[in-house]
Structure 1
Amino acid sequence: MATVKLLGDDELSPEARLIFEDIRATRQTEFVNNFWRALANDPATLKRTWEGVKEVMGPGQLSPRVKEMIYIAVSVAHGCDYCIHSHTAGARAKGMTDEEYRELLAIIGMAAETNRLVAALGVPVDDAFKS
């Protein structure tokens, strides 16, 4: 259950309304998800977060599909169910196959296991890996 009201379009402040218009234009959809609707309670946080997401997830050296897959990995590591679902949907929409998803989950699981082993064992970083 949300800890804040998920604002409908008719409940938005003028500032939040402008950001929702940008979300819709940028994503070329009328759908604005619950994350943005929760953030709309604080237009300053909504704006800051949207601008950051727009910049980081926008065009760059990594493909949109790879960016979504990285977002899935971080979301799994942080236990964000909402983000896992929304970015898995985003990755699938950008071409991620079922085989890629299974491989991604295997990598996430293996990295989590080996990270914990290294931390528990106190393994020092090899000089060859330091730059």
Structure 2
Amino acid sequence: MPHEDHPTSTVNAVEEHEAKDRVAEIFADIKATKNLDFVPRFWRVIATNPVQLDLVWTTLKTLMHPEAVGRTAKLDAATREMVALAVSATNACPYCINSHTAALRKLGIDEEALGEVMAIAGLFNMTNALASGYQIEPDVRPPH
């Protein structure tokens, strides 16, 4: 039963025991790749559209779990999760904030470091809004 303070999903999640074919394969891959004993609700909800599930999982696995697809990432796992957390906070996504905070805690990131991530995300939300609002022309540019 959903918590009173949180909205209910707009569709019914696909239960793990009901998953078939490609959805069942992806559910098994999610659990194995993320080292979980359950399929998180996000994946079960988007599984109502198996094509979307496949696209999102394949992309997320490639970028967030590169070792699972034989790729070596330039960013370490904690940095990738910090970026995901900062964007999730900026987009005000409670589900994603909790998910990426949990992932960071699993990676050993403490509350003080999480506070730094939030402080930096908040700072740049403010400075971006100021630069945009004032329409400040860029004068500090990366090298070509």
Task: Compute the TM-score of the two structures, normalised by the length of structure 2.
Answer: 0.85
Of 13, 18, 42 in structure 1, the residue corresponding to residue 49 of structure 2 is 42
Q: What is the rounded CA distance, in whole Å, between the counterparts of 1:85 and 1:36 in structure 2? A: 15
SS of corresponding position for 1:129: coil
2:126 is the alignment partner of 1:119:
no
Paired position in structure 2 for 1:66: 79
2:94 is the alignment partner of 1:81:
yes
- Between the aligned residues of both structures, percent identity stands at 35
More helix by share: 1
Counterpart residue identity of residue 11, structure 1: E
Task: Compute the TM-score of the two structures, normalised by the length of structure 1.
Answer: 0.93
Counterpart residue identity of residue 8, structure 1: E
Q: Where do 5+ consecutive residues of structure 2 fail to align?
A: 1-7, 67-72
Instruction: Tell me if structure 1 keeps the 8 A contact 2:16–2:39.
Output: no
Instruction: Tell me if structure 1 keeps the 8 A contact 2:33–2:65.
Output: no
Counterpart residue identity of residue 41, structure 1: T
Root mean square deviation of aligned Cα: 1.2
What is the CA-CA distance between 1:28 and the residue it aligns to?
2.4
Paired position in structure 1 for 2:104: 91
- Deviation string for 1:50-99 (max 9, x for gaps)? 11000000231111111111001111111111101111111111121111
Q: What is the rounded CA distance, in whole Å, between the counterparts of 2:20 and 2:46 in structure 1? A: 12
Q: Where do 5+ consecutive residues of structure 1 fail to align?
A: none
Moved more, 4-13 or 88-97: 4-13
Q: What is the rounded CA distance, in whole Å, between the counterparts of 1:9 and 1:86 in structure 2? A: 19
Paired position in structure 2 for 1:129: 141
Q: What is the rounded CA distance, in whole Å, between the counterparts of 2:124 and 2:35 in structure 1? A: 35
Q: What is the rounded CA distance, in whole Å, between the counterparts of 2:121 and 2:35 in structure 1? A: 31
Question: Which segments of structure 1 move beyond 6 Å, counting only runs of 4 or more?
Answer: none
Q: What is the rounded CA distance, in whole Å, between the counterparts of 1:76 and 1:44 in structure 2? A: 27
- Deviation string for 1:23-66 (max 9, x for gaps)? 12222222210000001111111111111000000231111111
Counterpart residue identity of residue 24, structure 2: R
Higher relative contact order (CA closer than 8 Å, sequence separation 6+): 1
Q: What is the rounded CA distance, in whole Å, between the counterparts of 1:24 and 1:105 in structure 2? A: 28
